Structure 1
Amino acid sequence: MDRPPAIWLLSDGRSGSTWLAQVMNHACQFHVEHEPIHARLNPRLTSLPLYPLPSERAVRTHYIPLFQDIRAGAYRTHRFPTEPEADASHGLIIRDIFGLMVAPEMLAALDWLHPVVAARHPADVARSKMALADWKWFTDIESFRADTALITALPDLDTVIDETVTGPLGSPGNGVRDDAATTYSIAFRRLVLEWIAGHAWFFARVDRNTVPVIRYPAPQDRLARQMGDILRIATPDADTTAPSFAAAYQRRSATDRPPDERSLLRRLMDGRRPAPTPADLAWTEAMIDRFGLRWLVS
């Protein structure tokens, strides 16, 4: 049976991808597959790294067959069992927060995948991840050094990893007091560098003029225009003027738009935890420029 193309929504974590998938599926025309490339959530990937790097051999042995099974309807995560279900023959959205570095190879192999990148400023991403510190985020930036292709393509990355881990901030054991602010800054910068590396690698391999980029948060009118263009890739009757689109745009999870003073995110971000310093924010802006990603957050 012929199946329509699939939209592959790529992003880092805490970049609005869950919400954007919901907005894309405002008319419940698509099956939405959430984070299939997530070794802690997908039992088919338990032996694989949480963040697959460009030279990961499992692209051919695991990830491409997984996506083929998703398209055929042979694999479903059912991560959100209450989400409205649609037959994938009407359309498919695959949402991933760990797919940026393997996406170029997978896109070359699977011509039915249409990438869309959801981009949020890396300082906002890192701060949001730090606020949800009990969630398990990827922070092993040292592992990037093991991937020759990545380091060759981004030669500054090796130096910046050193600066992030043991540079001006210092780290435990280097004679710098390990107080809460220092610990926060090091963790914050690790998360920023993960964002930098993933996006820099992806756009070094994929022409940015061929990939729709949705900057989060996007005004409703701008997002409606983008959705109209994107959804026509997969279905001819996408209607972003429908009330269901406006309702989906307004709907957020408790960690995106706190409904009251007792909500999770407000309690986590109420100032009792450290926050990025002006130096952290200036460093983030310097990294955006150093790796040529200013256009992505502008």
Structure 2
Amino acid sequence: MNATAPNLYPSGPPPQPLLPSWRPLTHRKSRKAAARKRSAATRALRMPLAKRAFDILFSATVLLVLLPLFLLVALLIKLESKGPVLYYSYRVGTGYRKFRFWKFRSMRQDADQLLASVKNLNQYQAAAADAAPEPGVCACHAGQQGPCQNQLIDKNGHPICEKHYAQAKKAREQATFIKIANDPRITRIGLFIRNTSIDELPQLFNVLRGDMSLVGNRPLPLYEAEKLTTDQFATRFLAPAGITGLWQVSKRGKGGDMSAEERKALDVEYATNYSFRKDIQILLRTFPALLQKENV
């Protein structure tokens, strides 16, 4: 007798379990990077109440007291060169947030367009070039003859010295910041207000608005901030952006001796350990530092 097999699925076969939707590795990495930035922004917004209250009280008082100085500086700037009295550029501050960063204009009106023509004067770029090894020379032997004992293969399939490769990579990454000695774009009144840090005073408006704090890590131009997205240095963006900070008072007047790595390390140190008490100490050290000849 032929028996008909029972229909175990009267409504059709059961749905198949959904397989995980695997995305490309690069996409997952970009999502992780974005998550880190959001986490950094969330943590950075928790500014101590005492710090914010002090910022508002101090900046409002100083702006009111220095109003006559503001008018005098504005007049001198207008008499020397054409263009607006105030200058702003977009900077990246706390939690990678972008904002307008205000200063008294100390350069020619076309200074941004002339930046490419003076980049060869960048002190950090020059230091990186000096540190770069001579192409084709085995760094393991320091100029002596002999085959390299620690070889890698580059993307073209050619053997290269491992130590040479590491030195060249470090040299390329060295010039994160831009500092130009005797910048020809600076006006005469601009040089004076830079050396006395008067050009920084309009940033008190940024402090009053909450874009910045009196003490913190300097907000960076976009082209510099985009180079500091690694876990090692992104920590600096957890701290408030500030007018003055730890590295400014650590080696004020010795800017030519401070490497980009030292600046980044001091920024990370401040972000890790900042407090209202330490902010007051930095502020007290800032006023004597303003008397130093070299502007940093």
TM-score normalised by L of structure 2? 0.22
Between structure 1 and structure 2, the one with the greater Rg is: 2
Q: Which structure would you say has the larger RCO, counting Cα contacts within 8 Å and 6 or more residues apart?
A: 1
TM-score normalised by L of structure 1? 0.22
